[in-house]
Structure 1
Amino acid sequence: MTLHLAEAPAAPGRTRSFHTMGRRVLELLYQHRVLSTHQMHVLLTAPDKRPARPVYLRRQLGELCEAGLVNRVRAQGGGDGPGRIQSQPYLWFLTDFGAESVEEAGELPTRPYRVTPDSVAGARQAHTLAVNDVGVAFVEHARRLGHECGPLDWTPEVANRIRDGQRRFEDDHVISDSVLNYVHIERGQRTMLTFFVEVDRATMTSARLAAKLAAYGRLYEYVPQSPDRARRTPDTTRPAWMYSYPVFPRVLVVLDAAPPREGQVDRRPQRLAARTEDLYTRTAADVRLQRLKERLSVGVTTLQQLQQHGPCAPIFTPLLRGTPAARPAPTDLYLTT
């Protein structure tokens, strides 16, 4: 199967033919905005095949780049000096022309956001890649376990309204880092799960992160005001989230932190453990979350644990349960946490 796409506007009379991988690369970049070569290679590896060297992928990326459909920049963190910078991996994203080509195909929901070199190189680069790392970890372990979670089964930056009004968008909505869908399959029984994913790289205070978790409590209870209160029906008194999700998604907080510099001691496990304890204490003090603790599921883990052990391992510390002095042990994400 091939995908026929027009050349860049500079050469409107020519066409290029790309194989299935080229089409899938464009779809991945449209959905996830920015991906490293390694992330794309993992996502594009067929579940029933051993990972091959990404030479063919690089060739396809080169052709897409020549056609004006994709662009690339070096990842940050290379340190000083051209040699260190050149050692950093490439990050890939669609050009406007590439995004328009995907939209013309009509296979994915249209997303108005456009990626630019400046936005890729901006302060949120590491956060964006970490969100993708969470999705990649779910995809890898789903393949290993025979579950279902594909390369397009998470959507970044999904906004849900949490109150009426015309304030700042950020004040009226909770914006999830991503919404991820996962199908657990065991003995022929399929369990469909949806997650609000929050990735925390310790760049915000624990108070701000706890406030964002509290916003999910507001989302659970938010019922849009009806313009005609005299004619209310059961549908007009339903919480808004019910129009988008069959059940309220579980909230998954994935903690990460920048690695230590060369020669420094790695104190990330201690820092992230303290972060989890702070979150537990703050959510335990939130009146709304405690009122809803039997209906909301919030779990915390680290990116390293998720990548190493997978989502079915007992790596999730449940919030909203017990007391800080008698916190439940980590559990797997399929239990009510």
Structure 2
Amino acid sequence: MPRPRFLDLADRGLSTLGQEALPVLYRHRLLTAHQLTQLLRPDATSTRYIRRQLEVLHDRGLADASVRRTSRAGELLWYTTPLGCEVVENGGELTARAYRMTEDAAASQLQEHTLAVNDVGLAFVQHARRLGDECGPLDWDPEVGHRVRDGDSRLGDEAFLVPDAVLHYVHTGTADDGQQQRMLLTFFCEIDRATMSIARLAAKLHAYARYSRYIPQPAPGRGRPKVSGYRREAWRGRYPAFPRILLVLDGASPAQLARRQDDLRALAAADTRLHSALDLRAGVTTLDQLRRHGPLAPIVTPVFGDAPPTDALLRPSPAASAA
């Protein structure tokens, strides 16, 4: 699996691992030493070496750390400083982001949600290695905005769909004719730690349905496009196919998460506004199952219909395909 390209940081006294770690910290905002070790040095038997490199990044003013609120042992959560962000952005390896982790944000109650998002990405990376698929330390991007309505951005949150993460995964499988085929998959990931109502979680499905149908309108005064067929759904300019939606539950007992899953499916089934969006491929699972079994195990329950558990590919059932 290819590793992130090195930044030109040798003159700052950084090792190869230090150069790899900085853009990963920048992309994923907040990471533990254990998460970084699993992402960048999965064969390591301890976090000692990565912690040493994080201390070097700290000494160079490129990274800082906050104490994890739920840890009695004082576990540190690492993030890039403003200088570290500038170094990564000037390196040109990653797209610059408007949002930067701050000292206050790193110490806030959003810690666990941010770590859970990264645990989802880490689970995909670990199982991709085991299966011979492709998903690396930089193959998910948190909170990517997608416009879902025309007008001024000052309209607020309703103007944008912002998944917790957009994750890219390349799966190598076998086609019906026995030939190997590569599938480029994109997932809209939503992580729920049992902190929001089921109604609010279900409302996110409306945002995805709206985005799947959203066609940008020409700006006022510009008239209609002259090219026939120019207008099309906005997502087609970003993705080869509409991404699969993966809802990952965590933060409660297995029994409680099972009830939340059933309630979510019941709300989706009863919501007539979603009936026209049944072309969406949406599934729900738990973070524990994703960690234990991986995304290509039958751990994902489709949100729509009575289909049995499947994997994250969310292949349509034979009945759905016939319909």
Task: Give me the TM-score of the superposition, normalised by structure 1.
Answer: 0.86
Aligned to 2:189: 197
Is it true that 1:328 corresponds to 2:320 in the alignment?
A: no
Distance 1:217 1:16 in 2: 47
Amino acid at match of 2:245: V
Q: Secondary structure at the match of 1:176?
A: coil
Over the residues paired in the alignment, what is the CA RMSD in angstroms?
A: 1.8
Distance 1:136 1:29 in 2: 13
Distance 1:178 1:234 in 2: 34
Percent of residue pairs bearing the same amino acid type = 49
* Superposition deviation, residue 57 in structure 1: 1.1
* Superposition deviation, residue 126 in structure 1: 0.7
Aligned to 2:259: 274
Amino acid at match of 1:299: G
Within 5 A, what are the aligned runs for 1:205-284? 205-227=197-219, 228-231=222-225, 233-258=227-252, 268-284=253-269
Distance 2:236 2:56 in 1: 44
Contact 1:198 1:252 in 2 (8 A): yes
Contact 2:281 2:314 in 1 (8 A): no
Gaps of 5+ in 2: 175-179, 317-323
Distance 2:113 2:86 in 1: 26
Aligned to 2:289: 305
Is it true that 1:107 corresponds to 2:107 in the alignment?
A: no
Q: Residues 97, 315 of structure 1: CA spacing in aligned structure 2 closer, same or farther, 3 A cutoff?
A: same
Across the two proteins, how many residue pairs are aligned to each other? 304
* Superposition deviation, residue 336 in structure 1: 2.3
Aligned counterpart in structure 2 of residue 67 of structure 1, from 26, 41, 60: 60
* Superposition deviation, residue 58 in structure 1: 1.2
* Superposition deviation, residue 232 in structure 1: 5.0
Is it true that 1:26 corresponds to 2:22 in the alignment?
A: yes
Amino acid at match of 2:44: P
Within 5 A, what are the aligned runs for 1:37-48? 37-45=33-41
Q: Secondary structure at the match of 1:110?
A: coil
Amino acid at match of 2:266: T
* Superposition deviation, residue 52 in structure 1: 3.1
Amino acid at match of 1:34: L
Task: Give me the TM-score of the superposition, normalised by structure 2.
Answer: 0.89
* Superposition deviation, residue 310 in structure 1: 0.4
Q: CA deviation digits over 1:9-68, x for unaligned, max 9?
A: xxxxxx52212111111010111111111110000025xxx3332222111111111111
Gaps of 5+ in 1: 7-14, 79-83, 259-267, 322-326
Distance 2:297 2:12 in 1: 45
Distance 1:2 1:212 in 2: 37
Amino acid at match of 1:305: Q
Q: Secondary structure at the match of 1:115?
A: coil
